[in-house]
Amino acid sequence: MSENSTPVILAGAAGRMGLEAVRAIVASPQTRLAGALTRQAGLGQDIGILAGIEPTGLELTNQLASVLTHAPAGTVWVDLTRGESAYVHACQALAAALPVVIGATGLTPAQIEDLRQRAQKQQLGVLLAPNFSIGALLLMRFAQQARVYFDWVELIELHHEKKLDAPSGTALKTAELIHAVKPVEHAGEAHPARGQQVHGIPVHSVRLPGLLAHQEVIFGAEGQTLTVRHDSTHRSSFMPGLLLAIEKVKGLKELVYGLESLI
């Protein structure tokens, strides 16, 4: 940790993704942990011990107002909770003049638009990232390139059984980016067995134990198919992208949806 390291307040610190983020933030010389929030789990415990590393001197708390009041200069708010909580937290962090990184999915279009307006008014960065994995971001880019040459496309996303939202935020963003290249004209009629149509693209969601985060985009044309697939087998795969998001959001003055536009 250097004198110029970025202070980070982490909401959702006691979750599986949160604990992985704690380890990454503490290990990086570019960041330092300035606060760790949880709703209930681990209250009062040293977040370092809970994460399996050296004690940090920071206890898990649910006192959001107090944490914001004592935030060091230059702090970035990172939220790894869920949709509604992440939205409420982001509003309060922006009001306290903190840029915000949101790794939660499940925010409504109205909530995203409200955060967009708040960020613009405050001239602060909000980075809404459905996926922090660099590999997943490259999958989106490769899918856009393939879309130029293929008219037919379907998407399959697979996650662990505890993931609540479906389709995933990554799948929704991928479909949006593919559609932006060329609208889909061959989706066919909607049918329960054919996936949920997103921008005309059938999206199939799988939730099973043993999975973490996986996605494949299948393109079809006469006599050939092309499959672009990415697999995250451990949450450590998200950490380089998370650290990049913390660095990038400091230079933003608006809401940006998707880390892929900043790499």
What confidence tens digit (pLDDT) does each residue in 24-71 have?
999 999 999 999 999 877 788 899 999 999 999 999 999 999 999 999
CA distances (Å), origin 233, targets 45, 238, 245? 28, 10, 21
Return the bridge partners of 242, or none.
none
Residue 2 pLDDT class (50, 70, 90 cuts): low
Q: Do domains 6-128+236-262 and 134-232 have the same CATH topology?
A: no
pTM, rounded to two decimals: 0.86
- Residue 255 is predicted with a pLDDT of 97
**Collapsed DSSP state (helix, strand, coil) of residue 119:** helix
What's at 207, amino acid-wise? R
Binding site feature residues for (S)-2,3,4,5-tetrahydrodipicolinate:
160, 169-170
Binding site feature residues for NAD(+):
12-17, 54, 103-105, 129-132
Judge contact between 166 and 156, C-beta under 8 A: no
Judge contact between 114 and 223, C-beta under 8 A: no
Residue 13: exposed, middle, or buried by beta-carbon count in 10 A (0-12, 13-18, 19+)?
Answer: buried
Domain 6-128+236-262 CATH class label: alpha beta
pLDDT at 102 over 90: yes
- Residue 40 is predicted with a pLDDT of 76
Residue 106 pLDDT class (50, 70, 90 cuts): confident
What distance, in Å, lies between the first and last C-alpha atoms of the chain?
24
Is residue 159 flagged as an active site residue? yes
Give 81's DSSP letter: S
- Residue 105 is predicted with a pLDDT of 79
Q: What gap in Å lies between CA 87 and CA 92, rounded to an integer?
A: 9
Of 263 and 254, the structure prediction assigns the larger pLDDT to 254
pLDDT at 261 over 90: no
Lowest mean pLDDT among 26-35, 123-132, 185-194, 233-242: 185-194
**Considering 159, 173, 204, 230, which one is annotated as catalytic?**
159
Give the dihedral sign, CA 244/250/251/257.
positive
- Residue 187 is predicted with a pLDDT of 63
Domain 134-232, CATH homologous superfamily name and number: Dihydrodipicolinate Reductase; domain 2 (3.30.360.10)
Q: What's the pLDDT tens digit per position in 188-217?
A: 677 788 899 999 999 999 999 999 999 999
**Considering 70, 89, 162, 163, which one is annotated as catalytic?**
163
- Residue 189 is predicted with a pLDDT of 72
- Residue 61 is predicted with a pLDDT of 92
Binding site feature residues:
12-17, 54, 103-105, 129-132, 160, 169-170
What's at 69, amino acid-wise? T
Q: What gap in Å lies between CA 178 and CA 217, rounded to an integer?
A: 10
Residue 157 tokens read as: 């996303």
Domain residue limits, the chain = 6-128+236-262, 134-232
CA distances (Å), origin 102, targets 124, 128, 139, 169, 259? 14, 5, 21, 12, 11
Is residue 182 flagged as an active site residue? no
